[in-house]
Amino acid sequence: MRIIILGPPGAGKGTQAKLLSSHYGIPHISTGDIIREEIKRNTVLGVKIRGYVERGELVPDEDVIEIVKEKILLGNCGRGFVLDGFPRTIIQAKALDHILSGMGLRIDAVINLVVNEEELVRRISGRRICRSCGATYHLLFNPPEKDLKCSVCGGELYQRIDDMEETVRRRVRIYNIETKPLIGYYEEKGLLINVNGVGDINSVFSEILRKLGS
């Protein structure tokens, strides 16, 4: 199973990608998580791309393509993968096609999570992330068991710097310009599966599985 999850910021891509990853036993490749880790570790790449992420802009295509290429080639992707947050531009989508066709592989399905803007703002404003393991919570919709401590590892929860209101608006604007065209790109290839992303986490997941036919 090689799956892409598409959708605007806050649509629930990471949440659903984690569930798909454990359901199918395939790696979850989140470019956002990898990028945040590079920034946290102050690597050469992390230092280079920090500004883009903090401003809510896209990291240059060549950097993200390199990250994904390495993951697909060297990661544990024999049974497939679920890509979350990549591709985000037509250039990235074409690069992905090129990487996969070089390996004799192709994408099987692209799940497009459809969520209205009002709900996106509600989700992003309540999103909290574990500083240690990266698990994602929502203060109201998916709260941790103990106040502001990660239910998985006990780590401290924080709000992403790019989840501040002004930055979120910019990210949604950039999504509409750069990423939305991917819907047409994958529709033409006959791979697009639209899923209503509004509803509780488990019903959205059931709908995805139903539409994937498993």
CA angle 70/74/78 to nearest 5° reads: 120
| Among 34, 107, 135, 204, contact with ligand ADP (rule: CB under 6 A) | 204
Q: What does 162 interact with, of ligand ADP, ligand AMP, none (CB < 5 to 8 A by kind)?
A: ligand AMP
Using DSSP bridges, classify how beta strands 28-30 and 157-158 pair: parallel, antiparallel or unpaired.
unpaired
Query: Out of ligand AMP, ligand ADP, none, which partner does residue 111 contact, by CB within 5 to 8 A per kind?
Result: none
Residue 13, interface with ligand ADP (CB under 6 A)? yes
Q: Work out whether 201 is an interface residue with ligand ADP (CB under 6 A).
A: yes
| Residue 27 binds: one of ligand ADP, ligand AMP, none (C-beta under 5 to 8 A by kind) | none
Question: Are residues 120 and 172 in contact, defined by beta-carbon separation less than 8 angstroms?
Answer: yes
* Rounded CA separation 198/116 (Å): 8
Q: Which stretch binds ligand ADP (CB under 6 A): 7-15, 52-60, 91-99, 171-179?
A: 7-15
- C-beta closer to ligand ADP: residue 24 or 141: 141
Q: Which of ligand ADP, ligand AMP, none sits in contact with 201, Cβ below 5 to 8 A by type?
A: ligand ADP
Please indicate whether residue 131 is annotated as part of the active site. Answer: no
Helix axes 44-55, 165-174, angle to 10 degrees: 100
In the complex, minimum distance from the CB of residue 202 to ligand AMP, in angstroms, rounded to a whole number: 22
Query: Which of 96, 102, 158, 165 is CA-nearest to residue 132?
Result: 158
Any catalytic annotation for residue 41? no
Compute the CA torsion angle 147, 152, 153, 156 (nearest 10 deg). -40
Provide the minimum distance between the beta carbon of 47 and ligand AMP in the complex, in angstroms, as a whole number. Answer: 15
Least distance (Å) between residue 86 CB and ligand AMP: 4
Q: By CB under 6 A, is residue 92 in contact with ligand ADP? A: no
Q: Is there a contact between 34 and 65 (Cβ–Cβ < 8 Å)?
A: no
* CB contact set of 24 (below 8 Å; sequence gap of 6+): 1, 79, 80, 82
CA 21 to chain centre: 12
Token representation of residue 77: 């992707």
Residue 125 interacting with ligand ADP (CB under 6 A): no
Assess whether 88 carries a catalytic annotation.
yes
What is the contact surface with ligand ADP in residues (CB under 6 A)? Answer: 7, 9-15, 123, 126-127, 136-138, 141-142, 199-201, 204
